[in-house]
Chain A
């Protein structure tokens, strides 16, 4: 039987598949006589036994194989990572395994403050570095906390970042395993990293150092002192001195950023003497491992210890292209998100609103053809500019939801990994919901006035001075005309009136009551951490609100462009005006669906040419994004004009919905969306209304036809197509 746990001195003889790269390297350092903190390695055998004994080995594929891994969007990867993390959080080690493991762990070590680090077999090899992709936990006290951290390190094998990286390297996640290194936490006076070849300047070595623990440097929260040196002579070639403000130090549990004392702000943690010792250590490691090394060190009471050493790889840099690094940049710290929130709320959104208002004031009808053409081009430029701002600022802001979700799940460990969304929705301020509520009020006015309904049904116009007309004008002033925002609505008919008539005669769903329990969340923290809990909740809520509202701000700019195009289209009906004709048909690039993933689902490619009459989907698997069961005829929205014919009780089926399109949601019996993710607008709005919602259904709008009876199972993430007849689901 494979050992559950090995002392570091036993590690070099063990297979890397049992102990992982990090532990293997530390074991070799111990054999070579280099000082490292005392540590043990919990082997992959423990991980394997845990998976077998808890049934996670069967449960993980059920989550992983819902959708082809290669077809997942970033967001879906994050959702998947969160679901898996929650599964590990809620699945304790079986008592037998706990007993066996505890018996192997040295009691003298377990009594100390600990660092719990990943040591996956594939990480830290010469071919692939997983640096920073798996989690580490610093300053862990006692066996129960150690076992908790152990499971979280295991879970990080399945984080979005790790899944993405494996996908890029072509590694099968199902074959992955994780060993874990349990090290004594050495509270060094100063710590750092060192590279025997500096990335980008490979003729030089680089050493970085901070006061206190390494964690602040590794996480990017503290800027280090940095030296570039000649690797042979040790001569200092360059020194970078940052503004030193904080150190990362052990708190009661975990670590905290603590302001530096004035004398440490002035003094470098990286003296020439320390640099010389670190460089000597680096050379020894390079000789031992026969290749350039990336080494973490700490200096405690004048003893220089190696925390880890791994080969410098080129694959990391090669894979670090624009898209991936942009995605990884979405993992923001609380402080960074707070700054981003201020920028978006105080600068970006007001500027967008002002720009839209300025454009709205321009009288398009009075412009000559050349000026109208210029106006269209200008509006397109403005829209594209703000869409880029949206990508740079607003999408990263959405990480606030993720950060909050992870903190919430760690703290309360709910069964539903997305229960935290209820707490975010408790303080909505969602413009899309406010807009929909205003629509409901207008419909209520109509419902109370049967004569007006009859008049409008005959194609009549309401009296401009009647209270309904005044309220309608107020609505369009505040929210714009939803039909116009969605562009391309049929000319002639007034889609807003059609929608209101439908709403007046149906019973649209109200927003649901919530189960949010803010107090439970806040009081689950010890008093000294409740301020942190409030801050993280506030950023989560701001992020949730902004994620939706910013789309509507973009929508207003999109409307201004559409108005100009509509004016051009009107003129083209009467005359051939070449300078306008080319500008009327909107290019795909300025569609309002800016939040959609780049490109269509790859599943769609190759679909063309297949005789569609031979292919009939019966049941499609997506992600359960809004719990509930909805039954009704499908309304497939291929273009915005389709929204005008939406009827109460239908299931909204679309490719990618944004807030500018969801004014029909209160009429819907359920939502199905091709684009995947729990935090996309469709899922958020479905939760607001308590509607069954399934997202991430590949090819949804091609495989489902309007009029087909659908059952949307928002519990299991299934969409069942029952032909033209409604199934009777009552037992």
Chain B
């Protein structure tokens, strides 16, 4: 496997296997971060997450759709500095509706079947993120950028 293909493989494995990511929204004076359960499509270009509408992150998202997420596979050991991979995922997120929501729900629930009650509650919003860039960090400081926009 050539180095680029290997990096793509790491990014795909990371994004597809990790259940949680740190979501950063625009909180006005400061970035605002949370843990969210995520589901990423096979092509890594779309990511789904859910949040009740009474939350801060929902309010932030309704004002500014630009977000980033951090997904990583660290185990909180010293070995992480060499072995852990982290992906910073950048793009815009919008609440899904109608058929787009149905499609996103299927992907989200395939990854998190135990969250069915949560995500299907009428008070819960399902967001679709269009991924523009992924910055993949491996071996502590090796950074590879994936740009999905033209």
Question: Which chain A residues lie closer than 8 Å to B56 at the CB level?
Answer: 618
Contact of A716 among B59, B113, B124 (CB under 8 A): B124
**Option from A58, A619, A715 in Cβ contact (under 8 Å) with B55:** A619
Complex contact A718–B52 (CB within 8 A)? yes
Minimum CB–CB distance for B64 against chain A, Å: 15
Q: Mark A484-528, 1 if CB is under 8 A from B, else 0.
A: 000000000000000000000000000000000000000000000
Give the residues from 93 to 119 in chain B that come closer than 8 angstroms, CB to CB, to chain A. Answer: 95, 97, 113-115, 117-118
A731 to B124, CA, bound (A): 11
| Contact indicator per residue, chain A 720-731, by CB within 8 Å of chain B (1) or not (0) | 101000011101
Contact B114 A55 (CB under 8 A): yes
Return the CB mask of A53-68 against B: 1 if under 8 Å, else 0.
Answer: 0011011001000000
- Which of B59, B115, B123: most chain A CB closer than 10 A? B123
- What residues on A are CB-neighbors of B53 within 8 Å? 629, 711, 727, 729, 731
A79 contacts across to B, CB distance below 8 A: none
Report yes or no: A713 in contact with B54, Cβ–Cβ below 8 A.
yes
Are the CB atoms of B95 and A716 closer together than 8 Å?
no
CB-CB < 8 A to A629: which residues of B? Answer: 53, 122-123
- Encode contact with A along B113-148: 1 for CB under 8 Å, 0 otherwise: 111011001111100000000000000000000000
CB neighbours of B9 from chain A (8 A): none
Residue of A at shortest CB range from B121? A715
Q: Which residues of A contact B59 (CB under 8 A)?
A: 727-728
Cβ A713 vs Cβ B121 within 8 A: yes
**Distance in Å from the Cβ of A539 to the closest Cβ of chain B?**
30
Query: Would B125 and A720 count as touching, CB distance under 8 A?
Result: no
Q: Given contacts A55-B113, A729-B53, A731-B95, are A716 and B62 in contact (CB under 8 A)?
A: no
In whole angstroms, what is the CA distance A423 to B124 when docked? 27
Q: State how many angstroms separate the Cβ of A709 from the closest Cβ of chain B.
A: 10
Residues on A with beta carbons closer than 8 Å to the beta carbon of B54: 619, 711, 713, 718, 720, 722, 727, 729
| A372: min CB distance to chain B, Å | 52
A713-B54, A720-B54 known; A731 vs B122 contact (CB < 8 Å): no
Return B97 CB to nearest CB of chain A, in Å: 8
Our count of residue pairs bridging A and B at CB distance below 8 angstroms stands at 53
Of residues 41 through 82 on chain B, the ones whose CB sits less than 8 Å from some CB of chain A are 52-56, 59, 62
Instruction: Given A619-B55, A731-B62, decide whether A715 and B114 contact each other with a Cβ distance below 8 A.
Output: no
Which A residues touch B55, using CB under 8 A?
619, 720
CB-CB contacts below 8 Å: A138-190 with B: none
CB-defined contacts of A618 to chain B, threshold 8 Å: 56
Question: Which single residue of chain B is at the shortest CB-CB distance from A720?
Answer: B54
* CB closest chain-A residue, reference B118: A716
Assembled-state Cα–Cα distance A677/B123 (Å): 21
Q: How many residues of B contact A (CB 8 A)?
A: 19
Contact status B95-A720, CB under 8 Å: no
Report the minimum CB–CB distance from A414 to chain B (whole Å). Answer: 14
Q: In the complex the two chains form, is A716's CB within 8 Å of B52's CB?
A: yes
**Contact among B52, B97, B114, B115 for A713, CB-based, below 8 A:** B52
Chain A residues with CB below 8 A from B97, complex form = 731
Q: Across the two chains, which residue of chain A brings its CB closest to B56? A: A618
B123 touches A716 (CB 8 A): yes
From 691 to 731 in chain A, residues with beta carbon under 8 angstroms from any chain B beta carbon are: 711, 713, 715-716, 718, 720, 722, 727-729, 731
A contact residues around B62 at 8 Å (CB) = 728, 731
The chain A residue with its CB closest to the CB of B95 is A731
> In whole angstroms, how far apart are the Cα atoms of A62 and B56 in the complex?
22
CA distance A711 to B56 in the complex (A): 12
**Inter-chain contact B123/A731, CB cutoff 8 Å:** no
Interface string of B85-98 (1 = CB under 8 A from A): 00000000001010
Do the beta carbons of A62 and B114 come within 8 Å of each other? yes
Residues 378-399 of chain A, each 1 if its beta carbon lies under 8 Å from chain B, else 0:
0000000000000000000000
| B122 A715 Cβ-Cβ under 8 A | yes
With CB as the reference atom, state the residue of chain B lying closest to A56: B114
State whether B125 touches A731 (Cβ < 8 A): yes
Smallest CB-CB separation from A715: which chain B residue? B121
- Cα separation A720 to B124 with both chains bound (whole Å): 13
Give the residues in chain B near A731, CB-CB below 8 Å.
53, 62, 95, 97, 125
Cα-based distance from A713 to B118 in the complex (angstroms):
11
With A and B bound together, what is the CA distance between A713 and B56 in angstroms? 15
- A713 in contact with B113 (CB, 8 Å): no
Among residues of A, the one whose C-beta sits closest to the C-beta of B96 is A731
Residues of B within 8 A of A728 (CB): 59, 62
Q: How far is the CA of A56 from the CA of B124 in the complex (A)?
A: 22
Interface centre among B55, B118, B125 (most CB of A within 10 A): B55
Using A619-B55, A720-B54 as known contacts, say yes or no to A59 and B118 having CB atoms under 8 A apart. Answer: no
In the assembly, what is the distance between CA of A134 and CA of B36, in Å?
Answer: 37
CB-defined contacts of B114 to chain A, threshold 8 Å = 55-56, 58-59, 62
A722 to B113, CA, bound (A): 30
How near does chain A come to B73, taking the closest CB pair, in angstroms? Answer: 19
Q: How far is the CA of A722 from the CA of B59 in the complex (A)?
A: 11
Smallest beta-carbon distance B7→chain A, Å? 31
Q: Which of A619, A713, A722 contacts B123 (CB 8 A)?
A: A713
CB distance from A622 to the nearest CB of B (A): 14
Complex interface bits, A598-631 against B, C-beta within 8 A gives 1, otherwise 0: 0000000000000000000011000000010100
Q: How far is the CA of A618 from the CA of B58 in the complex (A)?
A: 14
Residue of B nearest to A59 (CB): B114
Bound complex: CA A716 to CA B118 (Å)? 7
What is the bound-complex CA distance between A58 and B20, given in angstroms?
14
Distance in Å from the Cβ of A660 to the closest Cβ of chain B?
31
Verify A58–B52 contact, CB threshold 8 A: no
Cβ distance B98 to chain A, nearest Cβ, rounded Å = 12
For the complex, what is the distance from the CA of A720 to the CA of B53, rounded to whole Å? 10
> With contacts A720-B54, A720-B55 known, is A58 near B124, CB below 8 A?
no
Residue of A nearest to B19 (CB): A58
- In the assembled complex, which residues on chain A have CB atoms less than 8 Å from the CB atom of B125? 731
Known A-B contacts A718-B54, A729-B53; the reply to A58 vs B123 at CB < 8 A is: no
Residue ranges of B at the interface with A (Cβ–Cβ < 8 Å): 52-56, 59, 62, 95, 97, 113-115, 117-118, 121-125
**Residue positions of A touching B, CB distance < 8 A:** 55-56, 58-59, 62, 618-619, 627, 629, 711, 713, 715-716, 718, 720, 722, 727-729, 731
The 10 listed contacts between A and B (C-beta, < 8 Å) are: A62-B114, A62-B118, A619-B55, A629-B123, A711-B54, A716-B123, A716-B124, A718-B52, A722-B54, A729-B53
Q: In the A-B complex, list the 3 residue pairs whose CB atoms are closest, starting with the nearest.
A: A58-B114, A711-B54, A720-B54
19 additional A-B pairs beyond A56-B114, A618-B56, beta carbons within 8 Å, are A58-B113, A62-B114, A62-B118, A629-B53, A711-B53, A711-B54, A713-B52, A713-B54, A713-B123, A715-B121, A715-B124, A716-B117, A716-B121, A716-B123, A716-B124, A718-B54, A722-B54, A731-B62, A731-B95
